[in-house]
């Protein structure tokens, strides 16, 4: 019999109960016992749901109180030195590593492969001595057994991926540390074996990235050592997010089963399966349902894929499952009561994806006729959305078509534009500005809430927003900034704001996804053709401009960021969706220009996160990103200055892309990684203008004038003063009014001092 399985299930609960409990605990409104009780009941509830759906292999240990990578580090006693004096087993220590405390800063957090989930980066010293502090998997395994008679499938992050994601040691110490970890993994697995676990899932997503032969040998050695110490428990080596590069070597690794993603990478895993087959003695866990998107699948296609798979793998050695953990999709569609039915019926969140898994497995085991009715219903639901008018805006489609084979570009080359712009704007050397948002006070959030609920009429809300713009234009003038902004007070979120104004987007009520710790995001759904029907930002920006003689910079979110922070339709390519968004932005930019706004910033903070995992795929993505950005921004006059902003520091591999975007000015992070960044720009002899963040906005600390003089001077060692802008490293919406005023005042003073030196 073919089995159904889940790789991982969302931990946040149907209505973010998980988040609420954590935050209540952090605020000391509930005790640790109360927190643990709530977490346990959520966990049991999630297991029970999966059992009721009829999933055979239900994961245990995928649950976390914060993050699964942190769980792994703590389980092996690998905690940063600065927390070592604390009780290592205490829950407080666990949260302190993730969030910091009065005495010690939090561990770094970074994106989990190509997702918007962030994990806590383990800090491991070269001479660390890992130990098994607590076998958390055993605990969860027993809990599932006792409470629900589930023989769970423990899930653990594999040693190779775990170490590859860690920092604090040099490359040469990698193998030494790995050797110390492997026996602990063996111990964990043996204890699970003794407790009666049948399968254990070992996640090695690193296998879906570009690896060297050396890496593969290493992986082979690790799993050889593990496998030879186990007897009855079966190891399932799980990969996800993309196809594996070294298919033949990976499927022959010494484990009992291999989990592959059959959705992404244009079916490369399936092609390889067809070509090279699959070892007869192994189980294949086939990730056929997309764990990264939210659409009901075409189950006929899935069934025919499974037929292909069955021609190579015996049915009894097959497991049907999603392509990755369901951590990356919302929990259930059933709580969405306000969506249009034709959209709602075409959606599948975690629970509905498991229903699909069940249908596919039943079809294989009991025959297609036993699920025929369900297949029909699913096909109908899809068709209704697919055929709906919202998906087929012919005007938009023909506009995209008209750009085919056309290369969007500015009328003039940069050096010419630069002259025209300098003439036009007459800014001083080292112009000072900010990134877009100003403090979103509780008062502003409350006002928006009242307006959304209908307690406030449009007029009242607009007047309130205008008052904030007025106050801050005045404040920015007093501070002495050269280029002003309107402050983004009317925006809740930089993607949602635009999505609500554009056609083709839908918003859900509870479709949250964990982003990091207790923070969840609710991505919009791009379900139809994207169209601009009226100006989105002109009202607020022209109002701000009417209040001052100084330049006010318009503020938009770029096409790649809007795409990457949404759930996107799958019936057309991502590139086509991006082009639709870009054309909508192109129109908005025209509106702004026609209203005398000649400096326009188009933010792309999410450009880097969509980068494919494998190096050879990255160029295509980056080329498309460049195309979309230019499509949006290059139909402007030469004097119109296009800015862009990205807030991260790993620029190495995308340096050329940044240049190709052809934005006149780019502002980026940060005081923290200055040296490296400047070197990047030097390397490609970047000629356009750059605003390197001269202070870090992620902390309430007000940086001193001297500190910023230093940062500016350091940058000027490699960048020409004509090229350099002075700004904070990101938007200021999370900061308070007084600290923001103080910091910007110091920034302007620091700039004045440096100008006098030059
Ligand atoms: N303009 C946005 C802001 O200032 C940019 C946010 C971002 O980079 N994530 O908030
Ligand atoms: Zn930013």
Render pLDDT for 245-271 as a digit per residue (tens, 0 to 9): 999 999 999 999 999 999 999 899 999
Per-residue pLDDT at 135: 97
Per-residue pLDDT at 675: 56
Whether ligand 1 lies within 6 angstroms of the CB of 436 is answered as yes
Per-residue pLDDT at 654: 84
Ligand closest in space to the Cα of 434? 1
- Residues marked as binding for L-methionine? 435-437, 488, 603
- Residue nearest to ligand 1 atom 6, measured at CA: 731
- Position 696 pLDDT exceeds 90: no
pLDDT band at 420 (very low <50, low <70, confident <90, very high): very high
- Residues marked as binding for 5-methyltetrahydropteroyltri-L-glutamate? 16-19, 111, 519-520, 565, 609
Residues with a catalytic annotation lie at: 698
Per-residue pLDDT at 35: 98
Whether ligand 1 lies within 6 angstroms of the CB of 605 is answered as yes
Whether ligand 1 lies within 6 angstroms of the CB of 2 is answered as no
Residue whose token pair is 């039943």? 362
Three-state secondary structure call for residue 201: strand
* pTM for the model: 0.94
Per-residue pLDDT at 649: 63
Higher pLDDT residue, 542 or 614? 542
Per-residue pLDDT at 717: 84
| Percent of the chain residues past pLDDT 70, beyond the cut | 98
Mean pLDDT of the 4-26 span: 97
Residues near ion ligand 2 (CB < 5 Å) are: 605, 647, 730
437 CA: nearest ligand 1 atom: 4
pLDDT digits (tens, 9 = 90+) for 327-354: 999 999 999 999 999 999 999 999 999 9
Closest C-alpha among 645, 712, 715, 709 to residue 680 = 715
Specify whether the CB–CB gap between 605 and 654 falls below 8 A: no
Per-residue pLDDT at 168: 94
pLDDT band at 57 (very low <50, low <70, confident <90, very high): very high
pLDDT band at 686 (very low <50, low <70, confident <90, very high): confident
Whether ligand 1 lies within 6 angstroms of the CB of 437 is answered as yes
Closest C-alpha among 623, 398, 499, 519 to residue 118 = 519
Per-residue pLDDT at 677: 66
Taking the centre of ligand 2 as the mean of its atom positions, its distance from the CA of residue 700, in whole angstroms, is 16
Q: How far apart are CA 660 and CA 687, in angstroms?
A: 12
- Residue nearest to ligand 1 atom 1, measured at CA: 436
pLDDT digits (tens, 9 = 90+) for 111-144: 899 998 999 999 999 999 999 999 999 999 999 9
| Percent of the chain residues past pLDDT 90, beyond the cut | 90
Number of Cα atoms under 13 Å in the Cβ half of residue 456: 17
Per-residue pLDDT at 670: 64
Ligand closest in space to the Cα of 734? 1
- Residue nearest to ligand 1 atom 5, measured at CA: 731
Per-residue pLDDT at 678: 67
Per-residue pLDDT at 718: 79
Least confident of 29-33, 85-89, 200-204, 362-366: 85-89
Mean pLDDT of the 201-223 span: 97
pLDDT digits (tens, 9 = 90+) for 427-454: 999 999 999 999 999 999 999 999 999 9
Whole-number average pLDDT of the chain:
95
Among 492, 540, 605, 670, which residue has the most ligand 1 atoms within 8 Å of its CB, making it the best to mutate?
A: 605
Specify whether the CB–CB gap between 536 and 509 falls below 8 A: no
Mean pLDDT of the 726-738 span: 94
Mean pLDDT of the 191-220 span: 97
- Residue nearest to ligand 1 atom 3, measured at CA: 731
Per-residue pLDDT at 410: 98
Per-residue pLDDT at 706: 96
Whether ligand 1 lies within 6 angstroms of the CB of 184 is answered as no
Whether ligand 1 lies within 6 angstroms of the CB of 645 is answered as yes
Per-residue pLDDT at 647: 80
- Position 312 pLDDT exceeds 70: yes
Among 492, 537, 603, which residue has the most ligand 1 atoms within 8 Å of its CB, making it the best to mutate?
A: 603
Whether ligand 1 lies within 6 angstroms of the CB of 435 is answered as yes
- Position 674 pLDDT exceeds 80: no
Per-residue pLDDT at 182: 98
CA 401 to chain centre: 30
Question: Phi-psi bin for 239: left (phi > 0), alpha (psi -120 to 50), beta?
Answer: beta
What six digits make up the tokens of 482? 């050269």
Residue whose token pair is 């389980």? 75
């Amino acid at each position: 019999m073919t089995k159904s399985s889940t790789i991982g299930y969302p931990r946040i609960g149907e209505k973010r109960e998980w988040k609420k409990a954590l935050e209540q605990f952090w605020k000391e409104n509930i005790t640790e016992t109360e927190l643990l009780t709530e977490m346990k009941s959520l966990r049991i509830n999630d297991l029970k749901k999966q059992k009721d759906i009829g999933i055979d292999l239900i994961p245990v240990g995928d649950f976390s109180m914060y993050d699964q990578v942190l769980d792994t580090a703590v389980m092996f006693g690998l905690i940063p030195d600065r927390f070592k004096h604390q009780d290592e087993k205490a829950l407080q220590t666990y949260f302190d590593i993730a969030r910091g405390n009065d005495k010690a800063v939090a561990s770094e957090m970074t994106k989990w492969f190509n997702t918007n989930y962030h994990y806590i980066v383990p800090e491991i010293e070269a001479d660390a001595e890992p130990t098994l502090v607590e076998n958390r998997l055993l605990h969860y395994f027993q809990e599932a057994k006792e409470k629900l008679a589930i023989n769970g499938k423990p899930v653990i992050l594999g040693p190779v991926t775990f170490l590859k994601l860690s920092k604090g040691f040099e490359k040469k110490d990698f193998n030494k540390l790995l050797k110390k970890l492997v026996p602990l993994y063996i111990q964990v697995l043996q204890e699970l074996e003794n407790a009666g676990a049948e399968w254990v899932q070992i996640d090695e997503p690193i296998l879906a990235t570009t690896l060297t032969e050396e890496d593969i040998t290493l992986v082979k050695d690790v799993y050889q050592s593990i496998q030879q110490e186990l007897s009855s428990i079966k190891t399932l080596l799980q990969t996800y997010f993309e196809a594996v590069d070294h298919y033949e070597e990976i499927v022959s690794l010494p484990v009992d089963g291999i989990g592959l993603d059959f959705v992404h990478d244009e079916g490369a895993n399936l092609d390889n399966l067809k070509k090279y087959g699959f070892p007869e003695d192994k189980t294949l866990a086939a990730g056929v349902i997309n764990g990264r998107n939210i659409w009901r699948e075409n189950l006929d296609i899935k069934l025919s894929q499974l037929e292909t798979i069955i021609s190579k793998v015996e049915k009894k050695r097959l497991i049907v499952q999603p392509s990755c953990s369901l951590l990356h999709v919302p929990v259930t569609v059933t709580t969405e009561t306000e969506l249009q039915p034709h959209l709602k019926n075409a959606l599948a969140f975690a629970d509905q994806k498991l229903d699909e898994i069940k249908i596919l497995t039943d079809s294989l085991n009991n025959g297609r006729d036993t699920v025929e009715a369900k297949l029909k219903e699913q096909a109908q639901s899809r068709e209704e959305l697919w055929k709906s008018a919202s998906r087929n805006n012919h005007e938009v489609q023909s506009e995209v078509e008209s750009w085919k084979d056309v290369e969007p570009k500015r009328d003039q080359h940069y050096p010419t534009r630069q002259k025209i712009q300098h003439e036009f704007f007459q800014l001083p050397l080292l112009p000072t500005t900010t990134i877009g948002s100003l403090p979103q006070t509780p008062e502003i959030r409350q006002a928006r809430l009242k307006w959304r609920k209908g307690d406030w009429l449009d007029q009242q809300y607009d007047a309130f927003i205008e008052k904030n713009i007025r106050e801050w234009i005045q404040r920015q003038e007093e501070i002495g900034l050269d280029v002003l902004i309107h402050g983004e007070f009317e925006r809740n979120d930089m993607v949602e704001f635009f999505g609500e104004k554009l056609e083709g987007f839908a918003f859900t009520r509870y479709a949250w996804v964990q982003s990091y710790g207790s923070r969840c995001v609710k991505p919009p759904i791009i379900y139809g053709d994207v169209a601009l029907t009226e100006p989105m930002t002109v009202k607020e920006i022209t109002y701000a401009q009417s209040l001052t003689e100084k330049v006010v910079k318009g503020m938009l979110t770029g096409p790649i960021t809007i795409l990457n922070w949404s759930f996107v339709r799958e019936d057309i390519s991502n590139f086509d969706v991006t082009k639709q968004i870009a054309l909508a932005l192109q129109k908005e930019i025209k509106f702004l220009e026609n209203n005398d706004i000649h400096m326009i910033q188009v933010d792309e903070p999410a450009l880097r996160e969509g980068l494919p995992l494998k190096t050879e795929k990255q160029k295509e993505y980056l080329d498309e990103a460049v195309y979309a950005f230019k499509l949006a921004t290059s139909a402007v006059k030469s004097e119109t200055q296009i800015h862009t902003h990205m807030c991260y520091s790993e620029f190495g591999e995308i340096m050329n892309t940044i240049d190709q975007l052809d934005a006149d000015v780019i502002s980026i992070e940060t005081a923290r990684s200055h040296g490296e960044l400047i070197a990047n720009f030097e390397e490609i002899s970047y000629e356009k203008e750059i605003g390197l963040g001269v202070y870090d906005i992620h902390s309430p600390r007000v940086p001193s004038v001297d500190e910023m003089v230093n940062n500016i001077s350091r940058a000027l060692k490699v960048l020409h003063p004509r090229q350099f802008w002075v700004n904070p490293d990101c938007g200021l919406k999370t900061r308070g009014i007084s600290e923001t005023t103080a910091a910007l005042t110091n920034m302007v003073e620091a700039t004045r001092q440096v100008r006098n030196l030059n």
